[in-house]
C-alpha cells in the first residue's frame, strides 16, 4: 500500500496519508511524528482530520479501513486482468 493510494481512496492530503500509512505499519503517533520529521502536535491535529474525513474513531478502525481500501484495489486490479484476458 502506498500513500498515494490512501490519499486518493480516502480523500486525504498527502501529509495525512503518509501519517495514516505510518499508523497502518504499526507506529504510534509519537513514533510516526518522529519518523516523518513532524511535531507530535502536528500529527495529533492531522489524526483528528483523518478521523473526521474517514469517519473512523480509532487507530484500529483506520487500519481496518486502509486494509479494505487495499483489498478493494487488489480486487479491481485482478478483475481488470481477467477482463483483458477474456478479450
- Dist. CA 65–CA 60, nearest whole Å: 9
pLDDT tens sequence across 46-68: 999 999 999 999 999 999 999 98
Q: Confidence class of residue 24 from pLDDT cuts 50, 70 and 90?
A: very high
CB 25 within 8 A of CB 1: no
Average pLDDT over residues 9-38: 96
Which residues touch 53 (CB under 8 Å, ≥6 apart)?
A: 10, 11, 12, 16
Place of cell 477482463: 83
Provide the whole-model pTM: 0.81
Please compute, for residue 17, the number of CA atoms within 13 A of its CA located in the half-sphere on the CB side.
15
The pair phi, psi for residue 58, each rounded to 5°, is -155, 165
Amino acid at each position: 500500500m502506498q500513500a498515494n493510494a490512501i490519499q486518493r481512496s480516502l480523500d486525504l492530503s498527502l501529509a495525512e496519508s503518509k501519517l495514516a500509512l505510518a499508523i497502518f505499519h504499526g507506529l504510534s503517533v509519537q513514533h510516526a511524528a518522529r519518523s516523518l520529521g513532524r511535531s507530535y502536535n502536528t500529527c495529533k491535529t492531522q489524526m483528528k482530520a483523518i478521523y473526521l474525513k474517514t469517519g473512523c474513531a480509532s487507530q484500529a478502525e483506520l487500519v481496518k479501513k486502509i486494509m479494505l481500501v487495499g483489498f478493494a484495489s487488489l480486487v479491481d486490479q485482478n478483475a481488470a486482468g481477467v477482463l483483458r484476458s477474456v478479450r
